[in-house]
Amino acid sequence: MRLLDRLITRALRGPLDALVAQKVTEQVAQQVEELKLDALYSYRWHGDRSRLHIPDTAVVNNALFNVSGGEITIGEYAFFGHDVAVLTGTHDIEKFGRERQLAFPRSGRDVVIGDGVWLASHVLVLGPVTIGEHAVVAGGSLVREDVEPYTVVAGRPAKVIKKITPPGA
């Protein structure tokens, strides 16, 4: 290597290394932010994943689905706020210790969430239950009973607040 090449390389090494380090840091920061955003739009499940039915048109955010006691079926264009839990599982309160942990029904506690249903943030749904099409469940509500289509419910437990007029009615 010629003397001039060595001098140029030595002169540029510091600024070039700093520029590369800055770009790498920016890319890593962007990837971390994308992962955080992705976590907001991913859900978790407990039990057999094949018992959870979510169409591509549904928006589910960071929900938790427990399918240990039945199937969960979500309709087209349903959407969820953050931190929604839909649970089919329950335990036998008459059992104790390890037996209580293991004593739960394996079926019969299905949850059906109809087309266009909106479950706002922090909703808890306990199966077996059906939430009819285009119903709205207000934030923080506890759903333990069926919800009729085109109905708004709120509270713990959820109670009917109003009816929604279906299109064309």
3-state SS, one letter per residue, for the chain: CCHHHHHHHHHHHHHHHHHHHHHHHHHHHHHHHHHHHHHHCCCEEECCHHHEECCCCCECCCCEEECCCCCEEECCCCEECCCCEEECCCCCCCCCCHHHHHCCCCCCCCEEECCCCEECCCCEEECCEEECCCCEECCCCEECCCECCCEEEECCCCEEEEECCCCCC
Amino acid at 118: W
- The length of the chain is 169
Q: Catalytic residue among 46, 53, 82, 91, which?
A: 91
Instruction: Look up residue 54 and give its two tokens.
Output: 């979510």
In this prediction, residue 69 carries a pLDDT of 94
Q: How would you write the pLDDT of the chain (169 residues) with one tens digit per residue? A: 677 667 666 766 777 666 766 776 777 667 666 555 555 668 889 999 999 999 999 999 899 999 999 999 999 999 999 999 999 988 888 999 999 888 888 889 999 999 999 999 999 999 999 999 999 999 999 999 999 999 999 999 999 999 999 988 8
Among this protein's residues, is 134 annotated catalytic?
no
Mean pLDDT of the chain: 88
* Phi, psi for 45 (deg, rounded to 5): -140, 155
Dist. CA 116–CA 36, nearest whole Å: 27
In this prediction, residue 101 carries a pLDDT of 86
C-alpha to C-alpha distances, 29 to 15, 25, 45, nearest whole angstrom: 21, 6, 29
Instruction: Look up residue 107 and give its two tokens.
Output: 């079926």
In this prediction, residue 103 carries a pLDDT of 83
